[in-house]
């Protein structure tokens, strides 16, 4: 009899609170239409899921870089071959040969790094500083993250092995690396020797130590290393045709293959983090993917893409805010459904997520307070029941 009485009280409380919530919804409806900005119909008709599927390989461009990779392998240029195979994998993600080649060649590179490091340690112990230094540099050529080699170069080998560089306005680590080493990917040397994070924004007027790196040829003994003659032969093949990648990225963007365009843009940015064409490709592709997701009411996915776009790009700032509001409203409605199903704690969780996305939501906070009060009353009734 006591249980029946408690149950009736609970049902009455739940009924009254439900009326409050439903009246609240009716008195101040929030239509999703007020947040939706015009979307290209062709984009709205393109399911986001199709964008997530690996697109067909661009055979012609993949084959161009495959041939370059094979040429580098024949010339025993392991690192350049790995670089080419990685580009092949961008244009042909399902290419098993590329995946295997990258794995096999990377193992060779790691072994080469360890062999050079061991020789460097031997030279260091014998007091042959110059030879040791070249071996450690070769170690880093094969494995830029080799902490022990970096430690020897920075802390254990002495000598005038640095050039002082005054940072100019707008300069980046990659740009400075390109200037001194003709290779933007050696920016990690400069960062490490100056105790900088790779993402550090350089301050004009700062003085940087630029480690002197002799030209190194894998497989050649340190004593035989020579600086290249100005009239030396051209490389076997050009490493990466940036303009070709830019054009391919623009082509992919025009046919709405946005994920492919992003992959190409990121390949370009590895060589020049300030490449305007690549940055624009990245912004536009993520912008369009965000609009597609939004049109399909995948608001959390849309926010992810909008967050990757430069805040000043087109109307992305407003789109992101209104999409967050739409997502907040979606969580609010889920909370109402949970509440109606007597899942009060889950309802509170959804309304809290609503406030995280939209702190000014007109109803979520009030509903949380009322639901928490209801929970307290239920818990009190349960305690009475147990006694």
Instruction: Report yes or no on 344 lying in a domain.
Output: yes
3-state secondary structure of 210: strand
The Cα–Cα gap between 107 and 149 comes to 18
Contacts 24+ apart (CB under 8 A), 159-165: 159/129, 159/133, 161/133, 161/211, 161/212, 162/193, 162/209, 162/210, 162/211, 162/212, 163/209, 163/210, 163/212, 164/207, 164/208, 164/209, 164/210, 165/207, 165/208, 165/209, 165/210
Considering Cα of 214, then 217, then 222, then 227, what sign does the dihedral take? negative
CATH code of the domain in which 28 resides: 1.25.40
Instruction: Report yes or no on 205 lying in a domain.
Output: yes
199-216: b or e for each residue (b if 16 or more CB lie within 10 Å)?
eeebeeeeebbbbebeee
pTM (whole model) above 0.85: no
Share of the chain above pLDDT 90, in %: 11
Q: Whole domain around residue 170: which residue ranges?
A: 162-211
Mean model confidence pLDDT for the chain: 75
Instruction: Report yes or no on 188 lying in a domain.
Output: yes
The Cα–Cα gap between 227 and 114 comes to 24
Instruction: Report yes or no on 313 lying in a domain.
Output: no
**How many CA within 13 A on the CB side of residue 188?**
12
Total domains in the fold of the chain = 2
Question: Across-strand partners of 210?
Answer: 163
The Cα–Cα gap between 333 and 266 comes to 38
What's the pLDDT at 287? 94
The Cα–Cα gap between 137 and 306 comes to 41
Q: Which helix (H) or strand (E) holds 165?
A: strand 162-166
Q: pLDDT-based confidence at 47, cuts 50/70/90?
A: very low
Q: pLDDT tens-digit profile of 26-42?
A: 444 443 333 333 333 33
Q: pLDDT tens-digit profile of 185-242?
A: 777 778 877 888 777 788 888 888 887 765 444 444 444 444 344 333 333 334 457 8
The Cα–Cα gap between 276 and 96 comes to 32
Instruction: Report yes or no on 238 lying in a domain.
Output: no
Instruction: Report yes or no on 73 lying in a domain.
Output: no
Q: Tell which of 171, 196, 211 closes a domain.
A: 211
Q: pLDDT tens-digit profile of 327-342?
A: 888 888 888 888 888 7
Angle (CA) 46-50-54 rounded to 5° is 145
CATH code of the domain in which 191 resides: 3.10.350.10
Look at the block and give the residue holding tokens 């459904």: 337
Instruction: Report yes or no on 378 lying in a domain.
Output: yes
Question: Across-strand partners of 207?
Answer: 166
Answer whether residue 295 shows pLDDT above 90.
yes
61-70 mean pLDDT? 84
Instruction: Report yes or no on 9 lying in a domain.
Output: yes
């Amino acid at each position: 009899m006591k249980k029946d009485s408690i149950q009736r009280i609970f049902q009455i409380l739940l009924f009254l609170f439900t009326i409050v919530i439903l009246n609240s919804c009716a008195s101040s409806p929030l239509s999703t239409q007020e947040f939706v900005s015009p979307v290209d119909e062709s984009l709205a008709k393109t399911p986001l899921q199709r964008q997530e599927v690996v697109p067909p390989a661009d055979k012609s461009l993949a084959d161009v870089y495959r041939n370059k990779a094979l040429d580098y392998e024949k010339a025993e240029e392991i690192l350049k071959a790995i670089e080419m195979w990685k580009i092949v994998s961008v244009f042909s993600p399902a290419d098993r040969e590329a995946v295997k080649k990258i794995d096999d060649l990377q193992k060779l590179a790691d072994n080469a790094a360890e062999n050079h490091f061991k020789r460097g340690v031997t030279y260091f112990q014998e007091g042959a500083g110059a030879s040791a230094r070249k071996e450690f540099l070769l170690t880093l050529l094969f494995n830029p993250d080799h902490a022990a080699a970096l430690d020897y170069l920075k802390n254990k080998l002495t000598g005038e092995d640095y050039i002082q560089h005054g940072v100019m306005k707008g300069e980046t680590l990659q740009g400075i690396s390109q200037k001194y080493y003709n290779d933007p990917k050696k920016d990690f040397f400069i960062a490490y020797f100056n105790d900088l994070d790779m993402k550090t924004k350089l301050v004009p007027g700062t003085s940087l130590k630029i480690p002197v790196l002799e030209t190194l040829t894998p497989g050649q003994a340190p004593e035989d290393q020579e600086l290249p003659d100005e009239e030396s032969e051209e490389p076997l093949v050009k490493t990466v045709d940036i303009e070709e990648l830019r054009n391919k990225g623009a082509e992919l963007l025009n046919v709405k293959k946005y994920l492919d365009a992003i992959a190409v843009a990121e390949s370009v940015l590895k060589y020049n983090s300030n490449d305007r064409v690549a940055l624009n490709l990245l912004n536009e592709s993520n912008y369009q993917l965000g609009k597609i997701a939004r049109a399909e009411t995948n608001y959390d996915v849309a926010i992810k893409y909008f967050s990757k776009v430069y805040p000043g790009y087109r109307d992305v700032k407003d789109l992101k805010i209104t999409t967050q509001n739409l997502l907040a409203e979606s969580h609010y409605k889920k909370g109402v459904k949970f509440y109606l199903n007597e899942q009060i704690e889950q309802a509170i969780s959804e309304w809290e997520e609503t406030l995280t996305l939209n702190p000014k939501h007109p109803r979520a906070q009030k509903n949380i307070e009322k639901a928490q009060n209801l929970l307290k009353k239920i818990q009190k009734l349960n305690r009475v029941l147990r006694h």
